[in-house]
Structure 1
Amino acid sequence: MKTLIKQSRDALFQQEDINFLLTNRVPRIALTRFMGWFSKIRNPLVREASIGVWRLFTELDLREAKKTRFHSMHDCFTRELKDGARTVDADPAVLGSPCDAIVGACGPVAGVEVFQAKGFPYSAVELFGDAQAVEPFRDGSFVTLRLTSSMYHRFHAPHDCTVERVRYLSGDTWNVNPIALKRVERLFCRNERAVLEARLHAGGHRIALVPVAAILVASMRLHCLDVLLHVGYQGPTRMDVDAPYAKGQEMGWFEHGSTIIVFAPKGFALAEGIESGTRIRMGQALMRLPS
């Protein structure tokens, strides 16, 4: 029995080694630039072949998509959903999930330290790129939301709020799957990311959403900005905005799947059932506001 367990464990480690090598020990930024170009090709043969391969390796389900035909693979990546496909929790005491996702590391922020995986801490100061911006979330709560490649890739306001500032931090394009998170220290702090600082209309609480890009997907569109954030972006890194959103209103999208880390101040608590591995849909309860 012990031999079988050891063989199974060794096989798992070998699979993880192969996955890590194939998705990280490659020219990540070059592949990301290529995919950005390739995915936008508007050729029926390229489109159908690309989406067909995508379906072969993922659980891609387009039944909820607003459109039935797509111009390109990119058009499919960034698809909108039919009206009513997601229900937003209307309870004003609830902070809803900004996206469809699988919950990763989550829980309390220890000072300014959070975890990407067991035994792999990182500093929220490094993630945000600004020590002062982290202070509202000292000893608060966080949830890591991982979007797989087949999921709906747009993200929405978790509550009635106003985005006051966006900070863009250029970086690498490591894969952000669980295998990489267990092997690459401070991975989220290494990758390209944006920090959206917002204030809730209820109680004036601050929250922050940190979309993190990854290999093949280092590009994100925010409605509050008139520029596309991507690996070649050379504009200002800090942008003050005044963009109000209603709960559930679309804020932007990834060019593919990736990660959003949600930060809330002390007093917020994870909603019932939110733990690592939980599958959640946009609009479902993610955290509860202080009573």
Structure 2
Amino acid sequence: MKRTLFKYFVELTGHPISSALLKTISKSPLSKPLIKPFAKAYGINESEAEYAMDRYGSLQAYFTRNLKQGVRIVEPGPRILVSPVDGVLSAAGKIEKEQTFSIKDHLYSIKQILGDEKVAKRYENGFYYIFYLSPSHYHHFHYPIDGTLVSRYALGTVSYPVNDLGLRLGDRPFATNYRLISELETSFGQVAIVKVGALNVNSIHVHNNAKQCMKGEDFGYFSFGSTVILFIEPHESFQMLQKPATDIMMGEAIGIWT
């Protein structure tokens, strides 16, 4: 029951009025007493947070917390692709021509996700990873590989929750949600990082617009719930290292160009 209640505060609902109210409360000092039971309900490792729990002024401040330096190890090596987030790797595999991606019983084409046929075509025969971040997860996103930022664009104006209810009732949420796409040019081709907002408002915050991107570098966060998708341009030597339905931490190796 507690987990369900807390989930409303950090993922919100599909209704703009109730979401606005929950968002206001979660950002208010009135929500500070909810931090400790929230952390207990989701089994959050308090020792990893940058500050002690009583230093956070609201539930939203705690939800968007930074981690202490050194608690995530970024797998070294220029050929290794790492997870950009803490989360569950809900799906992964090869991108076939005309493929659709099954996300919680809904099907989406890469063109619908990226919003551009020319961009989508670049990743055909490449690889994809889909990460779901639950309320228990650290909600910052990091670069998965060294590269140069060649494009960043936003799509969508309406977002629905990424919880089961929103995915059942939303109007094809991954095709319509507000999402921010960053494309990196790497030594092995392009990599697209798709951040999908989980609310009926934009919850994606970018604090690093540098052109040169370093693997493991923190470049933004979700203020509420979220999903991240990676698309990898085809390369004959690329190998996937993780299987779906796996819990992943930011910095873990998920692929390698041999």
Residue 261 of structure 1 pairs with residue 224 of structure 2: no
CA distance in 2, matches of 1:90, 1:76: 29
Q: Secondary structure at the match of 1:63?
A: helix
Residue 129 of structure 1 pairs with residue 115 of structure 2: yes
How do residues 1-291 of structure 1 correspond to structure 2 at under 5 angstroms? Answer: 27-41=14-28, 43=29, 46-55=30-39, 57-68=41-52, 69-117=55-103, 120-177=106-163, 181=167, 186-200=172-186, 202-203=187-188, 205-215=189-199, 218-224=202-208, 243-267=211-235, 268-271=238-241, 274-289=242-257, 291=258
* CA deviation map 1:174-226 (0-9, x unaligned): 232356557767431122211111111x24x100010111137741111245x
Letter in 1 for 2:65: R
CA distance in 2, matches of 1:127, 1:144: 12
* CA deviation map 1:243-288 (0-9, x unaligned): 21111111110002311000001233321xx222100000001122
Letter in 1 for 2:101: F
CA distance in 2, matches of 1:285, 1:266: 18
CA distance in 1, matches of 2:104, 2:50: 39
Letter in 2 for 1:270: M
Q: Secondary structure at the match of 1:48?
A: helix
CA distance in 2, matches of 1:165, 1:131: 15
CA distance in 2, matches of 1:140, 1:252: 25
CA distance in 1, matches of 2:113, 2:98: 10
* CA deviation map 1:49-96 (0-9, x unaligned): 221442354223322011112122221111111111000000222110
* CA deviation map 1:151-190 (0-9, x unaligned): 1111111111122211111333323235655776743112
CA distance in 1, matches of 2:106, 2:180: 21
Tell whether the 8 Å contact from 1:113 to 1:121 is kept in structure 2 after alignment: no
Going from structure 1 to structure 2, the CA distance change for 1:77 and 1:165 (only over 3 Å counts) comes to same
* CA deviation map 1:34-58 (0-9, x unaligned): 33332222x3xx2332214423542
Going from structure 1 to structure 2, the CA distance change for 1:252 and 1:112 (only over 3 Å counts) comes to farther
Letter in 2 for 1:246: M
Letter in 1 for 2:256: R
Q: Percent identity?
A: 28
CA distance in 1, matches of 2:67, 2:201: 20
Tell whether the 8 Å contact from 1:217 to 1:257 is kept in structure 2 after alignment: no
Letter in 1 for 2:24: W
Stretches of structure 2 lacking an aligned partner (at least 5 in a row): none
Tell whether the 8 Å contact from 1:156 to 1:249 is kept in structure 2 after alignment: yes
CA distance in 1, matches of 2:202, 2:251: 25
